[in-house]
Structure 1
């Protein structure tokens, strides 16, 4: 039974539920990826209930190593998709499995809901720890329900009314930020334009071959299964105030802020107050919890219920992701 294999990780006593919920082997699950995947198929309804309750499930002790086993396992929870249109630096490794991020080890990646700036936001994210770092490297988690409940009603109403514009400046082959060829996994302009048109983007090709895209998105989204409206956006992540002071200053030496690799405004083009975004960041920080990765861990996250980030680290770290 599920209760015999589910155990909560240590979390603050004030939490109503653990984040993530830890699931370890027993006689029903076995201790191999194949037996666990078969068990997940039989226990789909119960696991859905636990995912909606906790937001994230951590499977530990099942010996995950092969990326194909990981992809098959995540496919038991969702239909997998590519990362085309995603702004983070990632490498496709095998099938529909990518590196979680190619950002350098010393960078902290702030909390975010994966691809909330696109119409193809995945509902489920799977992470595999192939090799934990020597220090740091955690994937912190924050419950969007708790964050949404704590945000001021006036702020939520204003963002919901105005919506957001995500502005993305993508260089041609090299430059600041991710290239358009990498972002859309294609070097063919016609193919890229077809993808942009299909997904509702506005775009402009610059004289130097770079691409500027603009996409209008909501600031609060309903959960696809429960209908509960949640604060799900990357305004605090895309805004220049989300950069370190040093990075922002260096970019400002050579670029106007409207030409930064990423930026965000209200849906009417007006500026978002940095004080509002700092308030959001503060609440998210207070709601963030984390665990220490172990080799072979697989984390299944509900991307609407839980945001994630990455701590800086030392040593080698291998964490992979599959989206669906």
Structure 2
């Protein structure tokens, strides 16, 4: 997949620090932006050596939350978080219990407690911009990434403002998705994608059925080890605090057009469209046009913001306000992730 350079691909080096309006609450840090007209992410760095991020963040939580709602994401750099357990403790101190990665769509491993590896896709592949678990009606409001080890080359976590994505999309596309919503169809088993045991984190059919029933997911066992699920989810979301409308779905990731042409052709030569491991449709089951998804991907591309990771960086995102992805990379890359504050979409009755 080719990804041409975009004006929003901005670099963090050479950024000038600017002090916040000092008060007793913020005089220990400086804030900066990638560029004056690029509010995502806000960069916070300590002005005092050895500043304890956990203690400081707890004392300034109200201010931090207001900045997060304004900017959509905060990059904490040069603080004293130097281990995965310390990162987990920092998240727990701010948000309480962290979330399990349930109803999975990508391969991940547990690192510590409820901290997971970021998506374990091959290093030469892009992971397109998306909001975490936007293919579900239940998702985290907060997601944070911790850079244990940056890659030798590239391996950035690009981000984009979901409010701007929504604003820039063609109005007819938005209206169609708002009216119809998005249906995700998944086929498990057969060795083509994640097995259902991994997705649902259980080997019991009965536990899968309980989860699906509670989540509003239709399911059908096609054999002892083959399962098909179908769920209609939101295409957009309204932020519960700010009231902002955001583009919030993964149609562009689940749809078969997201695959490289050669992979798509070889897969469809083996299985019919209804048997694909995953696919996305309009909520009424009709096909989503490839051209519409291409337009959506193009807007993500235009709004993508990239910064290079440094060891010890923490990127905190409001999962509704900011999308994220991953660029290809060379060498060892170790970025872990934690999620917090569960939220559930209540779909309007369209009957």
TM range (shorter): over 0.9
Contact 2:236 2:248 in 1 (8 A): yes
Query: Match for residue 246 of structure 1?
Result: 262
- DSSP-derived class of the 1:289 partner: coil
Note the residue ranges of structure 2 that are not aligned, 5 or more in a row. 1-24, 341-351
Deviation at 1:246, TM superposition (A): 2.1
Alignment partner of 2:220: what SS? strand
1:24 paired residue number = 45
| Distance in 2 separating the partners of 1:123 and 1:6 | 26
Q: 1:77 to 1:245 in 2, by over 3 A?
A: farther
Question: What does residue range 6-155 of structure 1 map to in structure 2 within 5 Å?
Answer: 6-11=30-35, 15=37, 17-27=38-48, 31=50, 35-78=52-95, 79-155=97-173
The whole-number CA distance in structure 1 between the counterparts of 2:234 and 2:27 is 38
Change (3 A) 1:9 1:212: same
Cα offset, 1:319, TM superposition: 0.6
The residue number in structure 1 matching 2:26 is 2
**CA distance, structure 1, for counterparts of residue 82 and residue 121 of structure 2:** 23
Going from structure 1 to structure 2, the CA distance change for 1:165 and 1:60 (only over 3 Å counts) comes to: same
Q: Count residues with an aligned counterpart.
A: 315
1:305 to 311, 321, 326: 321
CA distance in 1, matches of 2:41, 2:115: 22
Q: Deviations over 1:119-157 (max 9, x none)?
A: 221101010111100111000001011111111112111
CA distance in 2, matches of 1:92, 1:18: 32
CA contact (8 A) 1:118 1:217 kept: yes
- TM-superposed CA distance for 1:4, in Å, is 5.5
Distance 1:201 1:299 in 2: 32
Cα displacement string for residues 232-285 of structure 1 (whole angstroms, at most 9, x for unaligned residues): 111111111111112212211211222222111011100111111111111110
Q: Give the structure-1-normalised TM-score.
A: 0.93
CA RMSD of aligned residues (A): 1.5
Matched residue SS, 2:194: coil
Check whether the contact 1:31–1:61 (CA below 8 A) recurs between aligned residues.
no
Query: CA contact under 8 A between 1:125 and 1:300: conserved in structure 2?
Result: yes
Matched, 1:230 2:246: yes
Q: Deviations over 1:31-73 (max 9, x none)?
A: 36xx211111111110011001111111111232322211111
- The ranges of structure 1 where at least 4 consecutive aligned residues each deviate by more than 4 angstroms after the TM superposition are none
Unaligned runs of 5+ in 1: none
Distance change >3 Å, CA 211–CA 65, structure 1 → 2: farther
* 1:187 corresponding residue in structure 2: 203
Mapped to 2, the partners of 1:289 and 1:3 lie a distance apart of 28
Q: Deviations over 1:158-203 (max 9, x none)?
A: 11001111111121xx601111111111111111211111111100
Q: 1:272 and 2:288 equivalent?
A: yes
Q: Tell whether the 8 Å contact from 1:58 to 1:300 is kept in structure 2 after alignment.
A: yes
Q: Show the counterpart of 2:3.
A: none
Q: Give the alignment's TM-score, normalised by structure 2.
A: 0.86
Q: Distance in 1 between the 2:98 and 2:296 partners?
A: 31
How far 1:3 moved relative to its partner? 6.3
Q: Give the whole-Å Cα distance in 2 for the aligned partners of 1:319 and 1:160.
A: 34
1:208 offset after TM fit, Å? 5.2
Whole-Å separation in 1 of the counterparts to 2:211 and 2:182: 20
Between the aligned partners of 1:309 and 1:258, the Cα distance in structure 2 is: 27
User: Contact conserved, 2:53 with 2:80, CA < 8 A, in 1?
Assistant: no
CA distance in 2, matches of 1:284, 1:3: 36
SS in 1 for 2:116: strand
